[in-house]
Amino acid sequence: MNVYFPLFLSLLCFSLFSCQQASPESFHDNNVIAHRGAWKKAGHPQNSIASLREAIRLGCEGSEFDVWMTADSILVVNHDADFMGLPIETSTLEQLYEKELSNGEKIPTAAEYLKEGIKQKKTKLIYEAKPSELGRERNFLIAQKSVELVKSLKASEWVDYISFDKDICRKIMELDPDAQVAYLNGEKSPEQLAENGYFGFDYHISIVKKNSHWITEAHQLGLTVNAWTVNDSDDMKWLLDHGTDFITTDEPEMLLEIVQNRN
Ligand code: MG
């Protein structure tokens, strides 16, 4: 036998193993997260399926959306605690269906939103779990239902979770140790986040600018850095110059152009 054959065999095994381990993802890598979908320029309602489709069409790295839980424990997508004047947490889905978005869509359920998002594989789905206004216990349920839903739809590969609420973040990480969870509230240092198993931070731009050393610290700890909600081109350029991984914006078209012109 050729003396090199065992070496060749081990290299082959290593390569195959490496390939299996490597992430199969083919997502974009352009820093741009559309805030509540891409709605502003296109004239779509925020957090609508139409705004998600537009973020995908533009080729954003990710599309962010906000999730609440109805009185009958259905996860739905909307920014505010009320949907067209109806309080989400104390209304059933059927009651919420009495109203509609300006484009005629009903309030999307998180299931419908995720199902639409996983039809493609270029734009990630940035799932913001909104803390309940009805008490802490409900936050654990929101986290649990969210993880169950994402898993049941086999959407984990698309989804990064974000939340202002530590309990929700912790519960998601506990239920799905592979989940990528970023914290929104802004008071935790990268070191604290790393200790708690976070994927990264997703802080208001004023906090990122005030603590710009956190960007390097986060990267050294293997964390990602995201800033919101950045609609000014100078701010976008500052963040890109400082190595920010993701920028959440209502102006994804503008940021995509800035990013593309830098490449
Ligand atoms: Mg949000």
Short-list 143, 67, 152, 145, CA closest to 110: 67
CATH number of 26-262: 3.20.20.190
Neighbours of ion ligand 1 (CB under 5 A): 66, 128
pTM of structure:
0.90
**Rounded-to-integer distance, Cα 200 and Cα 194, Å:** 8
Question: Within 10 A of 37 (CB to CB), how many other CB atoms are there?
Answer: 28
Amino acid 84: pLDDT:
97
From the CA of 163, how far away is ligand 1's center (Å)? 8
Q: Which two tokens stand for residue 135?
A: 């008490």
Amino acid 104: pLDDT:
98
Amino acid 6: pLDDT:
54
Pairing of strands 124-129, 159-163: parallel
Whether 227 and 248 have beta carbons less than 8 Å apart is answered as: yes
From the CA of 192, how far away is ligand 1's center (Å)? 23
Pairing of strands 62-69, 224-228: unpaired
**Rounded-to-integer distance, Cα 206 and Cα 219, Å:** 19
- What are the CA-CA distances from residue 28 to residues 55, 58, 61, 94, 122 (Å)? 12, 11, 5, 37, 5
Amino acid 5: pLDDT:
52
Backbone angles phi, psi at 127, to 5 degrees: -95, 105
Amino acid 175: pLDDT:
98
Question: Within 10 A of 102 (CB to CB), how many other CB atoms are there?
Answer: 10
From first to last of the 263 residues of the chain, give the pLDDT tens digit.
455 555 555 544 444 444 333 344 578 889 999 999 999 999 999 999 999 999 999 999 999 999 999 999 999 999 999 999 999 999 999 999 999 999 999 999 999 999 999 999 999 999 999 999 999 999 999 999 999 999 999 999 999 999 999 999 999 999 999 999 999 999 999 999 999 999 999 999 999 999 999 999 999 999 999 999 999 999 999 999 999 999 999 999 999 999 999 97
**pLDDT tens-digit map of 35-62:** 999 999 999 999 999 999 999 999 999 9
CA 254 distance to own-chain centroid: 20
From the CA of 35, how far away is ligand 1's center (Å)? 7
From the CA of 21, how far away is ligand 1's center (Å)? 32
